[in-house]
Chains A and B, each alone.
Chain A
C-alpha cells in the first residue's frame, strides 16, 4: 500500500479556526443568537472561539469620534488577528471591519496593513456560510411563514441579499415572504434612532405598513439585531405579538422561547 488513506491519517487537516465577534447587542440582549451562530459554524466544520472582546467601534466611527474608533479597532484587530476567519452575526458590525477599518489608519501603515488583513478575512454570518463554508443543506424544520428584513449595511456595503434567502430556502416547512420596498431603511440607524426618535418612528411606520401588507406571517427575521430591536420594539408597543428572530436562530433551529434569556 503506497498511498495513505486520508481517513486514518495521523495528521488530519486542521479545522479552520473562526473567531466569533458576537456584537454588543447580541452579547447583551440576545445571547441565543450568539450560540446559534456557534452551532452553525461548528456544523459547517469550523472550530469556533469567542475571545474576550469589546465593541467594533461603529458608534464612535459614525459619531465622529475617530480617535475612539481607532482605539477600539486596534483592540479588535489585536484580539482577532490570529484566527483564520472572523465571523460577525451582524451586517453593520461586519461592514465596520470589512469596509471601514482599512481606511481608519491613514497615518499608521503598520496598523493599516493589519486592518486590511483582518478586513479580508471578516465575514457577516450568512455570507460566510454561503460563500466560504458553502453550506448547501440544513437539517432544520420550521413550520412557519417568515418575513426577511434586509439590512442596509448588508445590501449596500457588503452585497448581502441572496445569501440569507438561499439559507432560509433550505429550511423544511419555512415559507419566505418578501416585503415591498426591501431596499428601504427601517429607520434604526444606530444612535440616530435615539437622537431623532420621531423621525425614526415615522420611517418605521412605513416598514411596518409593508410588513402588514405582506399578510399573515409568524416571524420577522433579519441578519441585524439592531433593526430587529427597533422594529420589534415598535411592534411590541403597538401590541403586536409577532415573533422577532435573528437569522442565526432560525438557521440553527433555535426558535423556541426556552432559554431566551
Chain B
C-alpha cells in the first residue's frame, strides 16, 4: 500500500479549503448525533460491543481455522477461493480471472481493499474498462481523484464540481438539465444502468465472510453491489483475510452494530448474503463465484501488538468523531485509510517511514476508542507506533533529544529547578505586561509552534514548589 509522506503540506492545504471545511463541519455535527440516536435503540450497546469484540477476537485468534472452513464451504457451493499474499498477487489473480472470461467491461462496487491494492488501475493497465458503481466512487473515478472517507468517498467534492464532471464525461445527448442532486442522481443512474447490464465481470468487496456457511455479506445504501454481483456472469469478491466471522448469528450481531455506527441506520438499505454461484433454480446470480482473500500485511499484524486493529469493521465511527480528521479531511492522511483507524493501519500496511506523521497527528482525546463498536484501543495502538518511531530513530533529532533531556532533568530535582529558574527568567524577559497579566507573543525554536496561533501566559516569577517550600519553612514546618 502506498502512503504519501507529505502530511504537513497536505494538511496545510486541506485547512485552506473552504468547501471541504463545510463538508467536514457537517460530518462533525451530524454523524455523532445520528449514530448515538441509532445506538440508543439497542437494548444494551455496551454488552453488544463486548460481544462483538469477542466475536472478532475469536475469528482472529483462530483465523486459519475459520478461513479454511470458509473456503471449504465456498467450494462446496461451487465457488472458488484464491489466496493473495500481497497487492500485486491480488491484482494478478483478478486480472487472470477477467482474462479467462475474455472480459472487456468490469463493474465495481465500493471496496476499500480494492482501493488499498489499487485494483482498478491494475485492470485498466491491462486494457479493461473498469467502472465504479458507488455514486461517490464513480464521481471520484471521473475526476481522477481519491476517496477522502471510507464510506463517503466524495465527501470533499461539491455539487458544482459533480455537475462539471458529468458534463465533461457524459457525452450523451441529454434533454434534461443538470442542476440539482435529483437530476445528478438520475443522470448517474442512467449511465450506470448501461454499465451494469453490459458488464462481463462484477467486483465487490465484503463486509463479512461467514465461516460456517461460506457466505459473503455485502452492505450498501445504493444497491449497486447487488447489481454488480448479480448481473454479470462472473462475480469476484476481493476482501481482506480478517473479515471472517465464525457464524451467521455473529454476522447478524456485527450488522446491527455496523450500520448504526456508520450512518445511524438500523440496517443498511441493502444487506446481501452471497452464497456461491447461481444454482439451477435460482432466479438470478452470477455464473461464476470467486473470492480473493488478500493478506497484504495483515498476517504480520496478527499475533503482534497491533492485532486488535484487525477487529476493525470499517464503520468509520472513529473517523467521524475525530477532531483531527474533521479538521483536515481524508486526503491529508495520504492514505486510502484516513482518520484514527487509518493512522494505525497505514504504517502497518505500508511502512512507518512514510506514514510516521499519522500516529503523531492525534490529540489522544480517546473518542475513537469510545465510539468503536469493536472496542479497538486506538490511542494505545497509535502510541505503539510512536514507540516504534522513537526507538527506530525516525523522529526528528530535536524531538528525540528534547524528550531525553526532559526525562533526564526530571530525575535531578536540583538541576531541574535551576534550569526551570533560568527558563522562567528568559521567558519573562520576552513577555509584555498588561492589565491581564504577562504574556508572550513570540517564541523561538520549538516554541514557535505554540505562539503561531496563540499567546503564552508568562510563567510565574517563582515556581509553586519554590513558593511552597518558602512558606512551609516560614511556618517552621
Contacts and interface: CB of A to CB of B under 8 A. Distances in A.
B410 A31 contact: no
How extensive is the interface on chain B, given as a class? 35 or more
Interface stretch (A22-30, A116-124, A134-142): A22-30
Contacts of A230: 454
B429 interface: no
Secondary structure at the A interface, as helix, strand, loop or mixed, is helix
Interface string B433-461: 00011010100001101101111110111
B116 to A, nearest CB: 25
30 contacts: A27-B464, A28-B420, A28-B463, A29-B459, A30-B464, A38-B468, A53-B413, A54-B413, A55-B410, A64-B386, A64-B389, A65-B407, A66-B387, A68-B404, A72-B411, A156-B367, A156-B370, A189-B363, A193-B450, A194-B447, A194-B449, A195-B360, A199-B327, A201-B452, A201-B454, A206-B28, A234-B454, A236-B457, A237-B455, A241-B436
A229 B457 contact: yes
**10 A-B pairs with least C-beta separation:** A189-B363, A68-B407, A64-B390, A64-B386, A233-B454, A54-B410, A194-B449, A185-B365, A201-B453, A31-B464
Contacts of A153: 366
A187 B386 contact: no
Given A54-B411, A64-B383, A193 B449 contact: yes
Given A184-B323, A192-B362, A199 B369 contact: no
A198 B391 contact: no
B413 A62 contact: no
Contacts of B454: 201, 204, 230, 233-234, 236-237
A215 B389 CA distance: 44
A50 interface: yes
Interface in B363-418: 363-367, 369-370, 383, 385-391, 395, 399-400, 403-404, 406-411, 413, 416
Interface of B: 11-12, 15, 28, 323-324, 327-328, 360-367, 369-370, 383, 385-391, 395, 399-400, 403-404, 406-411, 413, 416, 420, 424, 436-437, 439, 441, 446-447, 449-450, 452-457, 459-465, 467-468
Contacts of B446: 194
A1 to B, nearest CB: 37
Interface residues of A, number: 67
Contacts, number: 197
